[in-house]
Structure 1
Amino acid sequence: MQTEIPGRSIGYRLRGSEGEWRVLSDGEAGMAYASKEAAFEAAVAAASNAIRDGYDVTITVPGASETMLGVEHTDHGTDLPDGGPR
């Protein structure tokens, strides 16, 4: 069993739109994937190797409203005036 090394962390962030999703890590974009799911599977495989090497790992997957250029405000997580969720 490997020992975790404090302070070593790596993040994987999915960016793109249908037909061209990429996994960014350390500011570098990897190859293009046809779907968000395929890019996620690639990120999980890379993260699995990083975990084995003792890294703290974060994978960030955008919701349906996020695009390659940024995040569109959708009010997710806020309540309607009548108290019900959006």
Structure 2
Amino acid sequence: MEPAERLAALRAAVLDGPGVTDRDLRKAAASGTAPGAWAGYVRSVREASYRVSEEDIAALKAEGFGEEEIFEVTVATAVGAAVDRLEAGLRAVAES
């Protein structure tokens, strides 16, 4: 399997596969545009994931989200950010 095919399969599994969260939420998280209580968390994961703290997770739980939901949104966000960075890098290489 070629790298591009692997990436497409990963995106499909994370964003379109079965889960406890809605596919639209996972896609929004991947693009960095998650709604409501997710917005700040998704921004943190995309921009500085090393700063995500137990308090951030506790705040989401206080909003009524379960661990599985938090996990799925985290993975979708991370995959989206990684793909965005990969594509930016490939564009930069192609332009040089």
* TM > 0.5 fold call: no
Give the alignment's TM-score, normalised by structure 1: 0.31
More helix by share: 2
More strand by share: 1
